[in-house]
Structure 1
Amino acid sequence: MKNLDPCNTDGRFIEPVSQGRYGLDPDALYIIQQDSFATSNSLQTIQLTMITLRSLGLPDGTCYEDIFKAAQHAGLRLCPAEVGLQLRLQYMDQPYGETLVIGMQPLHDCYQLPSVFTVHHWDWGIGLGACCCGESNVEDEWHADSDWVFMI
């Protein structure tokens, strides 16, 4: 991943949406407008990896807490939340049908439910979304073949 630029994660991130380059789902917009969402004050270079839950040894229906534990056991780390925004800005040639779930500490969406960012490309184009992690650990049902992004 290229250097993280804190200037791209402030209000100017929304500007390209109006230019039709990508979509910003309402839940993702809500999250980035909250005080709990923070960006780095300096440029950083980080290494990311994409991994399926199945490759972490996890079955269908695994809760996000178990996903994070398995990732940590595999030597992976949670991403800063701003990685979702930067990945969306930098991954403009994302294949159709792909959704990447950002392995990050969940932030609350407009319903006060813990959510993580998604970077996706579907019929409505490429976009940044937010996926609810459930009201409780019992409600999480992540598919084993879902693609997650973590830091190395």
Structure 2
Amino acid sequence: MRFENDDKIYPYCPFITRIVEVGGLTKSQLIQKLQQYSILMNEYGEKLFADDKFTTSNKKSSLQTVELTVGNLGFPDGANTDRIFKRANELGLKLCPLELGPHLRMEYLDQLEGYSGNPLKQQQAPSGSITIASEILTEDDEFPKGFYLRRINGVLWLRGYCADHLHVWNPNDHFIFCEKTLQDK
């Protein structure tokens, strides 16, 4: 498959990989550990945790993650979530389990500051945030779609977000996907 500006499209673009261990903790244990790390959650993040569809794995495993921008997926003008997730899949990436969010937040403690001086724009990912691409639990537009990571005034956050199917992400918005393993292909 070929795209315009292939030299700037994953995997021929700048991206960040991390290996993150997930699993082995219940939701209440995860919340306890987040508190030990002084990580805050917004109301949407708490709502995700409280939902029965958000499950954790008893078994520990390691996931290889890839952080890149919407533009690096071949969308120089941005794209909606469906198109982003479909393109990532075409490029050999897959959605992350929802529980990756809290585990990654606890491992990624040196995230850069989220530009608190910039005014927050409605209906846009906050500056400096990283959205974790995960399976959407419900089509209800009022229910959070997943987690994103942010550092604001030195405080680490695990935040939930809402975005309907029409929301267009900016080309500079950062997402984290998992690499497909042999069994995924």
TM-score tier by shorter-chain length is 0.7 to 0.9
> Counterpart in 2 of 1:145?
172
Indicate whether 1:87 and 2:104 are aligned: yes
Give the secondary structure class of the aligned counterpart of 2:44. Answer: helix
Question: Residues 98-139 of structure 1, C-alpha deviation per residue, up to 9 Å, x if partnerless?
Answer: 3110011123599743512101112371110012121xx22x
Q: Is the contact between residue 78 and residue 170 of structure 2 (CA under 8 Å) also seen in structure 1?
A: yes
1:113 and 1:18 mapped to 2: Cα distance? Answer: 24
Deviation at 1:39, TM superposition (A): 1.1
Q: Is the contact between residue 4 and residue 86 of structure 1 (CA under 8 Å) also seen in structure 2?
A: yes
Give the secondary structure class of the aligned counterpart of 2:145. Answer: strand
1:4 to 22, 39, 42: 22
Give the secondary structure class of the aligned counterpart of 1:47. Answer: strand
The aligned amino acid for 1:147 is H
RMSD value, Cα: 2.2
Q: Looking at secondary structure, tell me which structure has more helix per residue.
A: 1
> Counterpart in 2 of 1:131?
161
Q: Which runs of 4+ in 1 moved over 4 A?
A: 16-20, 108-111
Deviation at 1:5, TM superposition (A): 3.2
1:54 to 62, 71, 83: 71
Q: How many residues align?
A: 148
Indicate whether 1:65 and 2:82 are aligned: yes
Indicate whether 1:120 and 2:147 are aligned: no
The aligned amino acid for 1:142 is W
> Counterpart in 1 of 2:129?
99
2:59 to 42, 46, 49: 42
Deviation at 1:53, TM superposition (A): 0.6
The aligned amino acid for 1:104 is S
Deviation at 1:57, TM superposition (A): 0.7
Question: Residues 23-68 of structure 1, C-alpha deviation per residue, up to 9 Å, x if partnerless?
Answer: 1111111111110101112011110010101011114441100000
Mean CA deviation greater in 40-49 or 123-132:
123-132
C-alpha change, 1:123 and 1:111, in structure 2 (3 Å) is farther
Give the secondary structure class of the aligned counterpart of 1:65. Answer: helix
2:87 and 2:21 mapped to 1: Cα distance? Answer: 27
| TM-score under structure 1 length normalisation | 0.86
Q: Is the contact between residue 27 and residue 109 of structure 1 (CA under 8 Å) also seen in structure 2?
A: no
